[in-house]
């Protein structure tokens, strides 16, 4: 078979992988807008509480007390938000593309989703190009299908606001290809192309920083090859310096991006979920030690990192069976420590397995024609280290799409080796043959069958949760003729969609939004409400739960900066006073309105399976129990 025919067959296979990936995730094309999409559309329409330019749509709060107060008073941020919170990502090109979509397509979300799908398809093809250029054909085939079905691509594929991940993946991979050409041929134009592509990848967001570890791993791989060479070579430090200088096409865009981001004061601050080294370097380092194993277990062992954020919801069946104590249900700490421990075990097992893989890889690379297989080494290390730049976001499978570029070839190589060994030694019926077959089948099942099913399920979850939240918010238990005159108090909400984004969803779908929408609790547990006076009531978490003790609440306030007893937050119509704390979490609050609680200008609601249902305040002196908030169900 001629080389051109081999390439054509691989292109057809890449087309099939792209089609399979789109079919797995096709449900999200009809999911419509979701959460941050509504806020960004409001920024473009000028209805967001603070002004934003078209290139700055990921700047939800700039860290100023004035903006935080405005956002809290309008209800886009809950009352417990840190007064100087900064939730601001520097993604100018991603913002501009959303603005362009809005200009071209208006409110037709389908075209936004098709646009996102095209970016993902494009990124798949440039990754396929990278694999074909570097890897043995058999490894390239298996790696590409692993990459195509991996769950990490589903949310960027289906969540418009997270499209920036696919765009960064597209240009970053092109930049990596250009970098390898530049280092192999030493020409100026691949170096310039590399710098341009990396700059574009970073223009779409900080995800582009995850390509820096690939460049570093490639240079260390070249350095290792020099060390093993029999030719005379200079001392180590001069060689390190030479390789470091050679990285300028990648290092320069990264340095410029970080410098501009710092000058514009972008990046997270005072959030317990989105974190960076700017505010608390020691705290950030500790969080890295916790989250890296969680993300590592996701990409290697299929243990979803998303459950780090909602672990207490998963722990309930374990508690009912008596497997773990009740504190697992009400506190995130035990669950997260266990999740990190699973990740540490995964890292240890992966490093042990890598010793055997690396030894055999070196043996085959030393043989004639083994140059291609040697690339798996630096790709694997680059993929593992690509986790580090994204660890500041809340743990999620969506962060692993760029890491998959290096992880998929390593896993594919193991599968190819295992089945080749099995085929060669089948007649011998040795134990080693059976082990190879089991190992290959296990990796293939986990990263193909299980990953494909996880992607399908995730796409269905994205679709139906988006539809359910939108439908329930649009059918809020309120008088449509009076809602725009009222201030809505969401006593308990399951998540952000049925609290923070209610006004934006109503307005986007032709309904007049309320004057304000104030979320009170995002805790997953029940609450006890005590009516004290005509204008005030107290609210306490029940059954051992506490406020500010889960990821949805930690997003808006670092738990290491707790409230103190007696702290007061004025929302411009509602005043919240902290009455009891345990030093870190809140156990009792008092809420006082500027009018009697029965006044028609106030509307109290709570999150139920059928949506936001009206809550009628009890008489003065009465105590009622509010059930745990429920997710919206179709």
Residues 372-383: tens digit of each pLDDT: 898 999 999 999
The length of the chain in residues reads 634
pLDDT band at 317 (very low <50, low <70, confident <90, very high): confident
Q: Are 585 and 544 in contact (CB under 8 A)?
A: no
Residue 440 reports pLDDT greater than 80: no
139 and 45, same domain (yes or no): no
pLDDT band at 119 (very low <50, low <70, confident <90, very high): very high
Q: What confidence score (pLDDT) does residue 188 get?
A: 84
348 and 457, same domain (yes or no): yes
258 and 277, same domain (yes or no): yes
d(CA 378, CA 381): 5
Q: Are 520 and 492 in contact (CB under 8 A)?
A: yes
In tens, the pLDDT along 9-53 reads 999 999 999 999 999 999 999 999 998 999 999 999 999 999 999
328 and 208, same domain (yes or no): yes
Q: Which of 250, 158, 264, 150 is nearest to 210 (CA)?
A: 250
- Average pLDDT of 555-561? 87
H-helix or E-strand spanning residue 388: none
Residue 282 reports pLDDT greater than 90: no
d(CA 398, CA 377): 24
H-helix or E-strand spanning residue 124: helix 109-134
d(CA 484, CA 571): 18
Q: Are 565 and 578 in contact (CB under 8 A)?
A: yes
Residue 403 lies in a domain: yes
Q: What is the Cα gyration radius of the chain? A: 26
Q: What confidence score (pLDDT) does residue 544 get?
A: 84
Q: What confidence score (pLDDT) does residue 227 get?
A: 65
80 and 100, same domain (yes or no): no
282 and 383, same domain (yes or no): yes
- Average pLDDT of 361-379? 85
218 and 124, same domain (yes or no): yes
Residue 345 reports pLDDT greater than 90: yes
213 and 121, same domain (yes or no): yes
pLDDT band at 98 (very low <50, low <70, confident <90, very high): very high
d(CA 184, CA 162): 34
Q: Which of 588, 369, 488, 563 is nearest to 76 (CA)?
A: 488
Q: What are the structure tokens assigned to 85, written together? A: 């919170």
Number of domains in the chain: 2
- Average pLDDT of 263-268? 90
Which letter does DSSP use for residue 368 in this model? T
Based on the number of CB atoms within 10 Å of its own CB, is 464 exposed (0-12), middle (13-18) or buried (19 or more)?
Answer: middle
Answer with the one of 465, 488, 523 that is the final residue of a domain: 465
H-helix or E-strand spanning residue 163: helix 163-185
- Average pLDDT of 46-62? 94
Residue 471 lies in a domain: no
pLDDT over 70 for what percent of the chain? 94
Q: Centre a 10 Å sphere on the Cβ of residue 361 and count the other Cβ atoms it contains.
A: 21
Q: Which one is predicted more confidently, 106 or 634?
A: 106
Which letter does DSSP use for residue 390 in this model? G
pLDDT band at 90 (very low <50, low <70, confident <90, very high): very high
Q: What are the structure tokens assigned to 41, written together? A: 């559309």
pLDDT band at 285 (very low <50, low <70, confident <90, very high): confident
Q: Where do we find the tokens 């192999």?
A: 184
Residues paired with 115 in a beta bridge: none
Residue 18 lies in a domain: yes
In tens, the pLDDT along 453-504 reads 888 999 998 999 899 889 888 889 999 899 999 999 999 987 777 788 899 9
pLDDT band at 430 (very low <50, low <70, confident <90, very high): low
3-state DSSP percent of the chain in helix, strand and coil, to 5: 60, 10, 30
Residue 433 reports pLDDT greater than 70: no
- Average pLDDT of 91-103? 96
pLDDT band at 434 (very low <50, low <70, confident <90, very high): low
Residue 473 lies in a domain: no
pTM of the entire predicted model = 0.92
Q: What confidence score (pLDDT) does residue 533 get?
A: 95
d(CA 245, CA 268): 31
Residues paired with 33 in a beta bridge: none
Exposure string for 420-458, b = 16+ CB within 10 A, e = fewer = ebbeeeeeeeeeebeebbebbeebbeebbeebbebbbeb
Q: Where do we find the tokens 């200009």?
A: 103
588 and 483, same domain (yes or no): yes
Residue 472 lies in a domain: no
d(CA 568, CA 80): 10
Strand 611-614's sheet: what is its strand order? 516-519, 487-490, 602-608, 611-614
Q: What confidence score (pLDDT) does residue 222 get?
A: 87
Answer with the one of 419, 437, 465 that is the final residue of a domain: 465
pLDDT band at 144 (very low <50, low <70, confident <90, very high): very high
93 and 80, same domain (yes or no): no
Question: In Å, how far are 20, 22, 423, 429, 436 from 426, measured between CA atoms?
Answer: 32, 37, 5, 6, 11
Q: Are 581 and 587 in contact (CB under 8 A)?
A: yes
Least trusted range by pLDDT, from 287-296, 365-374, 406-415: 365-374
In tens, the pLDDT along 206-237 reads 999 999 999 999 999 888 876 665 566 667 77
Answer with the one of 431, 465, 499 that is the final residue of a domain: 465
Q: Which of 514, 584, 509 is nearest to 546 (CA)?
A: 584
pLDDT band at 524 (very low <50, low <70, confident <90, very high): confident
Residue 474 lies in a domain: no
Boundaries of domain holding 307:
3-30+89-228+235-465
Grouping H, G, I as helix, E, B as strand and the rest as coil, residue 277 is coil
Residue 267 lies in a domain: yes
d(CA 277, CA 110): 38
Q: What confidence score (pLDDT) does residue 283 get?
A: 73
pLDDT over 90 for what percent of the chain? 58
Residue 470 lies in a domain: no
404 and 553, same domain (yes or no): no
Based on the number of CB atoms within 10 Å of its own CB, is 238 exposed (0-12), middle (13-18) or buried (19 or more)?
Answer: exposed
Mean pLDDT score across all residues of the chain:
88
Q: What are the structure tokens assigned to 618, written together? A: 């009890």
Question: In Å, how far are 257, 422, 425, 436, 437 from 430, measured between CA atoms?
Answer: 55, 9, 7, 10, 11
Contacts of 253 by beta carbon, 8 Å cutoff, 6+ apart: 195, 198, 199, 202, 208
Q: What confidence score (pLDDT) does residue 327 get?
A: 74
446 and 529, same domain (yes or no): no
Query: Dihedral sign, CA of 495, 500, 506, 507?
Result: negative
Contacts of 235 by beta carbon, 8 Å cutoff, 6+ apart: none
């Amino acid at each position: 078979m001629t080389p051109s025919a081999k390439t054509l067959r691989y292109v057809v296979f890449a087309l099939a992988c792209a089609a399979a990936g789109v079919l797995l995730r096709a449900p999200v094309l009809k999911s419509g807008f979701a959460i941050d999409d509504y806020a960004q559309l409001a920024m473009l329409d000028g209805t967001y509480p603070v002004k934003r330019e078209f290139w700055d749509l990921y700047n939800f709060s700039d860290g100023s007390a004035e903006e935080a107060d405005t956002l809290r008073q309008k209800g886009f941020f809950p009352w417990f938000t840190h007064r100087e919170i900064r939730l601001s990502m520097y993604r100018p090109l991603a913002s501009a593309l959303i603005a362009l979509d809005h200009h071209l397509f208006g409110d037709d979300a389908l075209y936004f989703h098709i646009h996102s799908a095209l970016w993902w398809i494009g990124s798949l093809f440039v990754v396929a190009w990278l694999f074909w250029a570097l890897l043995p054909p058999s490894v390239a085939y298996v790696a590409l299908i692993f990459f195509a079905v991996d769950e990490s691509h589903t949310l960027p594929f289906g969540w418009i606001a997270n499209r920036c991940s696919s765009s960064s993946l597209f240009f970053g991979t092109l930049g990596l290809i250009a970098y390898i050409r530049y280092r192999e041929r030493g020409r100026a134009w691949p170096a310039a192309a590399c710098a341009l592509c990396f700059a574009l990848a970073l223009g779409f967001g900080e995800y582009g920083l995850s390509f820096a570890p690939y460049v570093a791993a490639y240079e260390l791989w070249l350095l290792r090859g020099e060390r093993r060479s029999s030719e005379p070579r200079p001392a180590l430090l001069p060689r390190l310096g030479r390789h470091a200088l050679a990285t300028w096409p990648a290092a320069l865009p990264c340095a410029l991006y970080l410098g501009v981001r710092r000058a514009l004061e972008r990046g997270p601050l005072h959030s317990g979920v989105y974190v960076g080294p700017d505010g608390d370097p020691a705290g950030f380092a500790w969080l890295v030690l916790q989250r890296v194993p969680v993300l590592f277990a996701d990409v290697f062992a299929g243990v979803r990192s998303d459950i780090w954020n909602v672990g207490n919801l998963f722990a309930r069946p374990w508690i009912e069976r008596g497997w773990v104590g009740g504190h697992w249900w009400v506190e995130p700490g035990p669950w997260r420590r266990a999740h990190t421990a699973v990740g540490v075990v995964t890292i240890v097992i992966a490093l042990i397995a890598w010793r055997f893989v690396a030894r055999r890889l070196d043996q085959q690379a030393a043989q004639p024609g083994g140059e291609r297989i040697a690339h798996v080494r630096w790709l694997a290390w680059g993929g593992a280290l690509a986790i580090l730049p994204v660890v500041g976001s809340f743990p999620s499978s969506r962060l692993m799409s760029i890491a998959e570029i290096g992880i998929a070839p390593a896993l594919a190589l193991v599968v190819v080796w295992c089945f080749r060994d099995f085929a060669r030694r089948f007649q011998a019926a040795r134990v080693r043959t059976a082990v190879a077959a089991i190992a290959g089948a296990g990796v293939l099942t986990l990263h193909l069958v299980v990953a494909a099913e996880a992607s399908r399920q995730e796409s269905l979850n994205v679709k139906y949760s988006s539809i359910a939240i939108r439908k329930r918010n649009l059918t809020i238990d309120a008088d449509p003729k009076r809602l725009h005159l009222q201030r809505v108090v969401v006593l308990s909400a399951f998540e952000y969609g049925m609290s923070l984004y209610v006004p934006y969803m109503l307005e986007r779908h032709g309904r007049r939004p309320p004057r304000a929408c104030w979320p009170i609790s995002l805790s997953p547990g029940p609450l006890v409400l005590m009516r004290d006076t005509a204008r005030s009531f107290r609210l306490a978490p029940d059954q051992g739960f506490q406020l500010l003790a889960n990821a949805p609440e930690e997003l808006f306030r670092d738990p290491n900066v707790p409230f103190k007893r007696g702290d007061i937050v004025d929302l411009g119509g509602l005043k919240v006073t902290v009455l009891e704390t345990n030093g870190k979490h809140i156990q009792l609050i008092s809420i006082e309105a500027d009018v009697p609680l029965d006044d028609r200008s106030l509307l109290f609601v709570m999150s139920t399976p059928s949506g936001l249902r009206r809550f009628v305040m009890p008489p003065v002196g009465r105590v009622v129990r509010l059930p745990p908030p429920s997710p919206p169900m179709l």
